[in-house]
Every structure is written in structure tokens, then in C-alpha cells.
Amino acid sequence: MIYSFGAKNYFSFKDGFQVSLEFNSKVPKNISNSRKVSPILGIKGANASGKTHILKALKFISSFIVSSFKDDIDEEISIKGFFNSTKPTEFYIDFDTNGVRYTYELSVTTKEVIREALYKKISRKTPLLERKKNTITYRVAELESLDLITLKSNSSIIDTALQYSIKNISDDFKAIHSYFTQTRGNTSALGLVDDATIYDYKKVSEYYFKSPKSFELMKKIIFNSDLGIKDILIHKTKDSNGDTSYFPVFHHDNNITELDSNWLTYWEESDGTTALFRRMYQYWSTLESGGILLMDEFDTNYHPALLPQILDLFMNTETNPKNAQFLFTSHNLEIMDFLGKYRTYLVAKEDGESYCYRLDEIPGDIIRNDRPISGLYRDGKLGGVPKI
């Protein structure tokens, strides 16, 4: 699980940001549920305030760790500094996987890695390795196999090491690589990606066909959304080439007596229904395997009453046994009342520079656990609202 992460000189964050999902001793037990880290985090703010950049930073860190190895040593690294600054962009992430806590640090330009470091917390924070440009300046004895590899200026040391398929490569590297491979959603290192292009409805249908439990839970969410849908079936068929494909049909409750008239195909359904059908795949696959789900504009096409139901899936240990985490941006105001001050970040911008803060960092007692937050935000008392 992610404890915290941050970036500096990244898009509109000149002096940087730090986002913490860690609960402190002041967090009420009914919110923490005895967890040390929150499984959900909402990010709010005005349009163009920099909300999406926070998700992009986390996606970049994940992607760089697991999939940055390139054959082309001249291929640029996909980052952007504050107003195209040529100074290095800095990242860090503090996380836990398989019961072991790590800190990963990276300083990088579009041309090269300036510094990369990995720490492991045993009784205290202990350095495992440090790299400056293409030279390993420190490593523990257990990582001596790294001496056999050639570093590339545009690739992470973890992904590079695993590309060499060295037999005695560190178990730490394998665990970290496996963890960040499970980062998914509609956010790329460069921005929002239409989830319809990421998850084809046929692929989603196949997943539901082969995972009856997830299929039943998905149907329950859709039925509770008051879309007029009473049943969903996944059909399995073969095309002229003998290839198997899957597709859904949706049964509606109406006054038409002809049975076939009650069924609609995927393409006949509303955008809201098809979006929910696709995105529930992302939620369930994340909950099943663990990892990180990043959703920009989480509430698009959703009725506000549906949002808490989805968040509950991540908060409930029965539906989230592997401690998956869900980070999202949203324009919905009422969701702040559901999240509360310990799970909500506000992003604001002044003179072109973004900054962010968790609501419990606001001094004083303006925000109380037993009172709604949305009204305070709407009245501009918390910041992070558009100037209209």
C-alpha cells in the first residue's frame, strides 16, 4: 500500500507536492477501521488547478519502475517540468508490499536519470542502492548481481535488472516490480485516457463471463443505480474464424409485451450504462489482485448516489481483502462529506503554480468530523474553488 508520494518541478507544481494516505493517531476508529493507511483518497479543486497532475505523477512513477526499459537509448522520458523547466523533476514514493516497506526516489529530466535510490525499512530506513546517472554509487552486498548489467540513461534500474533475467536478482526488485505492475485506471503519465480505448467491452465481457462472483456484484451495482435494468447476460459465441468472443445484453423492465423488445445490446445502451459496465471491470480486477486504481473525473456519467457504493467496495475488508487503493479526482461536492477531512485533498493554483493540502491540515476547528464539509467548500472557506 502507498503511504505517501510526491513530486517537485512537475507540470504546474513548481515547489512540489506531497500526498499522504497515512492515518495518524487523531483519526477516529470509525474512519480508519484500524488501518494505518487509507484505501481511498479523493482529490478536488477548480478546473485546471492541477488535480490530474497528482494522479499523473503516481502513474509515471509506477510506469517508470516497471516499463521504462527501452532499446532506443535516445528515447525521451515522458515528464514535463514547471513551464518546461529544464531542471530535474523529482519524485518519491513510500509504500509497502508483501509486508515490507520501501521508499523509492527518482530525479530525472527528459533526457536522463540524474539519481535513483531505493530504501528498505527494517528497524529503520536502510539504503539498498543509489545510482547517479549511469553509475551505481552504492549497493548492499545482496545486490552484487547489479554489477553485471549496463544501465541506460532513460530506464529504471529495477526494470533494467529484470530485463537481464539474472537468476539471483533481488527478491525486493521482483516484489516491487510486481506491485507497480498492478497500477491501472484511466490516467496515463501524460493525462486522461478514455477507458473505452483501454478496456474493450468484449474483453470486459469475457472477464465477467469467467468470474461469476464479480459478475454478480457488478450487476448488483447496476441494478441499484436505478437504470431500469433488471438483468444482464453475457453471451459466448464464435466468429467465422472460430475465435471466441463475448458480448453483453441488458434486460429492461418496461410495458412492452414482446419479450425481445426488453433486451438491448451494448451499443443500444446509454453512455452512462456502458461506462459503468466497463469501469466496474477496473474496480473488480483491482480489488481481486490488489494494487492501485487511478481514476480521473471518477464521477463522469455517474449519479451522485452511486459514488459511495463504489467507494464502499474499497473500504470494506470483505470486498477488498488485498488492500487495494483507489485514488481519484471528482467534481462532485457531496462526495467530500462521505470522504471526510482525512481522505480529501484540495488543489489550488496561484500565479500559475499549484499546491495541495489534506483537509485535516487546515488549522483550527472549522472542519469537524460530525459536520458536512461540502457547504464549507462551496462557500469558499476551505479554498480550492473556481473564481467565477
Q: Tens digit of pLDDT for each residue in 44-75?
A: 988 889 999 999 999 999 999 999 998 677 78
**More reliable by pLDDT, 165 or 181:** 181
Least confident of 82-91, 155-164, 262-271, 366-375: 366-375
Q: Is residue 27 a contact partner of residue 342, using CB atoms and an 8 Å limit?
A: yes
pLDDT given at position 374: 78
Q: Is residue 59 a contact partner of residue 294, using CB atoms and an 8 Å limit?
A: yes
Same domain, 236 and 124: no
Q: Is residue 365 part of a domain?
A: yes
pTM of the model: 0.90
Domain count, the chain: 2
Q: Dihedral angle at the C-alpha atoms of 228, 203, 279, 66, nearest 10 degrees?
A: 170
Give the residue numbers spanning the domain of 200: 195-289
Same domain, 50 and 170: yes
Domain boundary among 289, 305, 340: 289
Has residue 169 got a pLDDT over 90? no
Q: Is residue 201 a contact partner of residue 249, using CB atoms and an 8 Å limit?
A: no
3-state secondary structure of 119: strand
- For the chain, give the mean pLDDT: 88
Residue type, 102: Y
Rg (CA), the chain: 23
Q: Is residue 371 part of a domain?
A: yes
* Res. 370 pLDDT band, cuts 50 70 90: low
Same domain, 229 and 345: no
What are the tens digits of pLDDT across the range 70-79? 867 778 999 9
3-state secondary structure of 72: coil
Cβ atoms < 10 Å from Cβ of 111: 12
pLDDT given at position 349: 92
- Average pLDDT rounded to a whole number, residues 97-101: 94
Same domain, 39 and 178: yes
> Max Cα separation, the chain?
76
Same domain, 372 and 259: no
Has residue 386 got a pLDDT over 60? no
Has residue 21 got a pLDDT over 80? yes
Same domain, 91 and 123: yes
pLDDT given at position 235: 93
Same domain, 136 and 225: no
Same domain, 87 and 175: yes
What are the tens digits of pLDDT across the range 212-226? 988 998 898 888 876
Least confident of 112-121, 189-198, 350-359: 189-198
Q: Is residue 266 part of a domain?
A: yes
* Res. 99 pLDDT band, cuts 50 70 90: very high
d(CA 178, CA 182): 7
**More reliable by pLDDT, 242 or 93:** 93
Q: Is residue 142 part of a domain?
A: yes
Q: Is residue 55 part of a domain?
A: yes
Q: Is residue 105 a contact partner of residue 131, using CB atoms and an 8 Å limit?
A: no
**CB < 8 Å & 24+ apart, contacts of 244-249:** 245/202, 245/206, 246/202, 246/205, 246/206, 246/208, 246/209, 247/201, 247/202, 247/205, 248/201, 248/205, 248/208, 248/277
Q: Is residue 35 part of a domain?
A: yes
pLDDT given at position 295: 92
Q: Cell numbers 504546474 label which residue?
A: 12
φ, ψ of residue 38 to 5 degrees: the values are -75, 135
In Å, what is the CA distance from 43 to each residue of 5, 52, 104, 298, 343? 14, 9, 23, 10, 9
Cβ atoms < 10 Å from Cβ of 277: 24
Our measurement of the distance from residue 279's CA atom to the centroid of its chain's CA atoms, rounded to an integer in Å, reads: 13
d(CA 43, CA 52): 9
Which grid cell is 98?
508483501
Same domain, 176 and 201: no
Sign of the CA dihedral with 172 first, then 124, 103, and 51 last: positive
pLDDT given at position 261: 61
Same domain, 24 and 112: yes
**More reliable by pLDDT, 363 or 259:** 363
Q: Is residue 156 part of a domain?
A: yes
pLDDT given at position 110: 94
Q: Determine what percent of the chain is predicted with pLDDT higher than 90.
A: 53
Same domain, 170 and 214: no
Q: Is residue 325 part of a domain?
A: no
Instruction: Name the DSSP letter for residue 13.
Output: B
What are the tens digits of pLDDT across the range 77-92? 999 999 989 999 999 9
What are the tens digits of pLDDT across the range 252-298? 876 555 555 688 999 998 888 888 888 888 899 899 999 999 999 88
Domain boundary among 272, 289, 306: 289
Domain boundary among 289, 321, 353: 289
**More reliable by pLDDT, 244 or 366:** 244
Q: Is residue 382 a contact partner of residue 346, using CB atoms and an 8 Å limit?
A: yes
Same domain, 78 and 167: yes
- Average pLDDT rounded to a whole number, residues 21-35: 89
Q: Is residue 339 a contact partner of residue 36, using CB atoms and an 8 Å limit?
A: no
pLDDT given at position 372: 80
